[in-house]
Amino acid sequence: MKKMLVAYDGSEASKKAIDVVLKCADKDDEITLLTVVPAELSESSFTKMLLPTIDLSNVVKSGSFKQKAKESLTKLVKHIEPEVSKVNIAVESGDPADEILISAKKYESDIIVVGYKGYGKEGRFLLGSVTDKVV
């Protein structure tokens, strides 16, 4: 039995990662789907910084990003459940690379699967790469 952690952000790369995991998974394997909401979004502080004159309490409800992420993962579970013995979902907030590693330890994952967008050297230097940080 393998325990696999899949970092999912809704991107095409993360959707392909799920496809790869399903091709490699056995019926007795366990998959954990993880979405990490950047702390700035879960607290809306980043949005407050960008839009200081707008009262965000009427626009963004507390926890709404995490709730949307849970809803998205729950839809995926229905697609994955028939293929493996167990599917967990987790939504965390913070630095994506850090949260992926913490969750991998928490769920005792044997394999971490992260989609890769392929920004190239320049893009990784400017933007950073969650995949590079996890590795």
CATH code for position 46: 3.40.50.620
Angle at 49 (CA atoms; ends 48, 51), nearest 5 degrees:
60
pLDDT of residue 127: 44
What secondary structure, in 3-state letters, does 45-101 show?
HHHHHHCCCCCHHHCCCCCHHHHHHHHHHHHHHHHHHHHCCEEEEEEEECCHHHHHH
d(CA 119, CA 69): 24
The residues facing 5 across adjacent strands are 32, 112
Residue position matching structure tokens 């607290």: 43
The confidence score (pLDDT) of residue 11 equals 85
Whole-number pLDDT of residue 63: 58
pLDDT at 123: 47
Task: Read off φ and ψ for residue 25, nearest 5 degrees.
Answer: -80, 145
Q: Tell me which residues of the chain have a pLDDT lower than 70.
A: 40-63, 117-128
- The pLDDT assigned to 124 comes to 46
**How far is 60 from 132, CA to CA, in rounded Å?**
32
Please report the pLDDT score of residue 94 as a whole number.
Answer: 87
Can you give the residue range of the structural domain that contains 50? 3-134
How many structural domains is the chain composed of?
1
